Amino acid sequence: MAASRWNQDLAIGSFVYLDFAVAEDPWHEFMIGPQVGPYSYVVSSPDDVFVQDVAVSADVAGVRVGKPGWVLPDGLGARHNQPVYRFSTKPTIAEVQAFVVEAAKMADDYGKGLVPGHPLVPHDGGADADAPSVERPVRRVQGKSKSPVDPNLVYALDKVNFKDGEWVLAFGDESNLGAIYTEPAIRAFKAITGLRDWLLGVEGDAPIVLKHVPGGQGNIFIENVAVAYGKADKGHTPRDGVNDARILPVGRNKRKVRYLSFPEQVWKCQFEEFSEEDWILQGPRSAPYCLGEVARINTGMVTRSVTWQHENHLAPESHNALVHEMISEAVELFLCVDQCDIVNSAGVESLMRELQYIEFEVKKKREAKAPPDQGYYFRGRSKLTGGAILCPALLKWISERASRDSSILKEQRKAAEEFALARKSAKGDKSGKGDGG
Residue 288, exposed/middle/buried by CB under 10 A (0-12, 13-18, 19+)? buried
* Mean pLDDT across 169-190: 73
Which has more pLDDT, 122 or 317? 317
Report pLDDT for 154. Answer: 42
Q: Which of 39-48, 114-123, 222-231, 247-256 has the lowest mean pLDDT?
A: 114-123
Residue 382 CA to residue 116 CA, distance in Å, equals 68
Q: What is the mean pLDDT of the chain?
A: 75
Which stretch of DSSP H or E encloses residue 215? Answer: none
Report pLDDT for 124. Answer: 34
DSSP 310-354: HHTT--TTSHHHHHHHHHHHHHHHHHHTS-B-GGG-HHHHHHHHH
Strands (E) in 10-136, as ranges, are: 15-19, 27-35, 40-44, 49-53, 62-65, 84-85
Report pLDDT for 121. Answer: 30
pLDDT for residue 50 is more than 80: yes
Which stretch of DSSP H or E encloses residue 238? Answer: none
Confidence of residue 17 (pLDDT cuts 50, 70, 90): very high
* Mean pLDDT across 88-92: 85
Reported as a single tens digit per residue, the pLDDT across 110-131 is 755 433 333 323 333 333 333 3
Domains of the chain by residue range: 15-146, 157-220, 262-390
pLDDT for residue 194 is more than 50: yes
* Mean pLDDT across 223-252: 58
Confidence of residue 308 (pLDDT cuts 50, 70, 90): very high
Radius of gyration of the chain (CA): 34
Beta bridge partners of 333: none
CB 346 within 8 A of CB 312: no
415 Cβ contact list (under 8 Å, min separation 6): none
Residue 303 CA to residue 309 CA, distance in Å, equals 10
Report pLDDT for 310. Answer: 92
Q: How many helices (H) and strands (E) does the chain have?
A: 10, 13
Reported as a single tens digit per residue, the pLDDT across 371-399 is 766 666 666 655 677 788 999 999 999 88
Report pLDDT for 244. Answer: 62
Own/partner long-range contacts of 200-206 (Cβ < 8 Å, ≥24 apart): 200/4, 203/172, 206/172, 206/173
Q: Which of 138-147, 259-268, 395-404 has the lowest mean pLDDT?
A: 138-147
Reported as a single tens digit per residue, the pLDDT across 55-83 is 877 778 888 888 887 888 888 888 788 88
* Mean pLDDT across 38-53: 86
pLDDT for residue 218 is more than 80: no
pLDDT for residue 47 is more than 50: yes
Residue 154 CA to residue 361 CA, distance in Å, equals 71
DSSP state of 37: S
Confidence of residue 159 (pLDDT cuts 50, 70, 90): low
Report pLDDT for 430. Answer: 63
Report pLDDT for 307. Answer: 92
pLDDT for residue 95 is more than 70: yes
pLDDT for residue 401 is more than 80: yes
Greatest C-alpha distance within the chain = 137
Which has more pLDDT, 325 or 220? 325
Which has more pLDDT, 296 or 415? 296
* Mean pLDDT across 397-416: 82
Candidate ranges 111-125, 206-220, 318-332; pick with highest mean pLDDT: 318-332
pLDDT for residue 246 is more than 50: yes
Nearest CA to 325 among 306, 300, 298, 340?
306
CB 151 within 8 A of CB 53: yes
Report pLDDT for 110. Answer: 74
pLDDT for residue 223 is more than 90: no
Residue 135 CA to residue 121 CA, distance in Å, equals 12
Report pLDDT for 96. Answer: 85
Nearest CA to 105 among 49, 154, 187, 59?
49
Residue 129 CA to residue 324 CA, distance in Å, equals 76
